[in-house]
Copies of this chain bind each other. A is one copy, B any other.
Amino acid sequence: MSVVDLPLEVRGAACSPAAAESLSARDADLLARRLKAVADPARLRLLSIVAAHDGGEACVCDLQEPLGLSQPTVSHHLRVLTDAGLLSRSKRGTWAYYALVPGAADALGAAFLASVAPRGR
């Protein structure tokens, strides 16, 4: 049985207080999944291009050429970012438009920094 399977009040006795205050296995899994969504050069560039567009929204028709990737590859990366809650997608006429979800990147950055900040000091 690992420490993270124990109820919180038992963990303090089972290991050092410092270890008990660190990121849980479950929280680490969730955070790693969100970080993996952005730990990719094409996806970082997509986020950056959308952010730099007027109104913070970009047509999918403007996202393929700057990256030099095929349309299915760009669609895959956009889906990963949308599933991760970083981009929103709205369809208008022929095209889909992508926008940054307000606060989502900030929240991810803050969650990462909180996970490596000393606790309870």
Binding site for B on A (CB under 8 A): 2-3, 15-16, 18-19, 21-23, 25, 28-29, 31-32, 35-36, 38-45, 47-49, 51-54, 56, 62, 65-66, 68, 100, 105-106, 108-110, 112-113, 115-119
Whether the Cβ atoms of B119 and A52 lie closer than 8 Å is yes
> How many identical subunits does the complex contain?
2
Interface of A is mostly: helix
Whether the Cβ atoms of A22 and B35 lie closer than 8 Å is no
| Among candidates B22, B53, B100, B110, residue contacting A18 with C-beta atoms closer than 8 Å | B53
Nearest-Cβ distance from residue A50 to partner chain B, whole angstroms: 8
* C-alpha spacing A21/B48, complex, angstroms: 9
